[in-house]
Amino acid sequence: MAAAMTTASISSFLLTGTSRNHFSTSSFYSNRTICTKRSSPFFICCVSPSRPIYKPSYISDPSYVRIFDTTLRDGEQSPGATMTSQEKLTIARQLSRLGVDVIEAGFPASSPDDLDAVRSIAVEVGNQPIGEDGYVPVICGLARCNKKDIDAAWEAVRHARFPRVHTFIATSEIHMIHKLKKTKEEVVKIAVAMVTYARSLGCQDVEFSPEDAGRSDREFLYHILEEVIKAGATTVNIPDTVGYTFSPEFGSLITDIRNNTRGIENVIISTHCQNDLGLATANTLAGAYAGARQLEVTVNGIGERAGNASLEEAVGKFFK
């Protein structure tokens, strides 16, 4: 992919399958790693000869970074961005051609239409090899920490070659008190039970997000992550849900989680940064530099409120 890839070119590719800059998608999905030989700690470039074989909780190349695109889920929460099932399928096809590792195709429990859209993407895009390496993207469905949501997500994604259920529950004091009306102990119990439940359905790839992690008590965050890892989570995603943190803070958060969470070496650490203070991409890159190996992004940075980390901005840092 050309380093000069722009917002216009990536949008053109998603809509038409062609790019104004005619970039090579194979170079994107084959050669994405962190480069540590440059003076800037945030410089990321392509040096990996191939995409590692997909394993949910392990990446054989420690410098490889997975790209998790949530345009079809979080991006759709942007005002005016509602998509039909056919539009979602069209964009999913192009995201696969672009080479993203994971496509979060929707929130199946939110409506029958979204469940059908995610299922269609899982059946088609989740089984169609792309490129010489036979790459097939992971197809993911979002679910709150309850059985109804998880059942819907699993029903939608299970038809893919690599299905994933992504479940979440809030962990910040303000959310637990005023939204969930739950104690810390109750939240941990629910999280563990629902990760265990997702695994019991046959899902071998479960992502867990402690919502509003950026404002959560650190010791509690380490504890709940330890417990969901023991329950079978394969990816733990760290959301800056309200775009609260600055880049040094977010990088330190990832470092602290790596240093203080038992079992963290057995899973993939992910980031999901909102753009309320205009720092989503910067925080995402700070997380990658601190050791996160999955980055959650959207096309053009669209998403709820001020949006998300931009796919083209984040990925642009992976090229010389």
DSSP string, the chain: --TT--HHHHHHHHHHS--TT---HHHHHHS-B---SSSSTT--B---SSPPPPBTTB-SSTTB-EEEE-TTTTGGGSTT----HHHHHHHHHHHHHHT-SEEEEE-GGG-HHHHHHHHHHHHHGGG--BTTTTB--EEEEEEESSHHHHHHHHHHHTTSSSEEEEEEEE-SHHHIIIII---HHHHHHHHHHHHHHHHHTT---EEEEEETGGGS-HHHHHHHHHHHHHHT-SEEEEEETTS---HHHHHHHHHHHHHH-TTGGGSEEEEEEB-TTS-HHHHHHHHHHTT--EEEEBGGG--STT-B-BHHHHHHTT--
Q: What pLDDT sits at residue 311? A: 97
Band of pLDDT at residue 78, cut at 50, 70 and 90: confident
Give 11's pLDDT tier (boundaries 50, 70, 90). Answer: low
Which CATH superfamily groups domain 7-316? Aldolase class I (3.20.20.70)
The per-residue pLDDT for 15 is 54
What pLDDT, in 10s, does the model give residues 98-128?
A: 999 999 999 999 999 999 999 999 999 999 9
148 pLDDT above the threshold of 80: yes
Q: What per-residue confidence (pLDDT) applies to 132?
A: 81
Averaged pLDDT, 26-53:
50
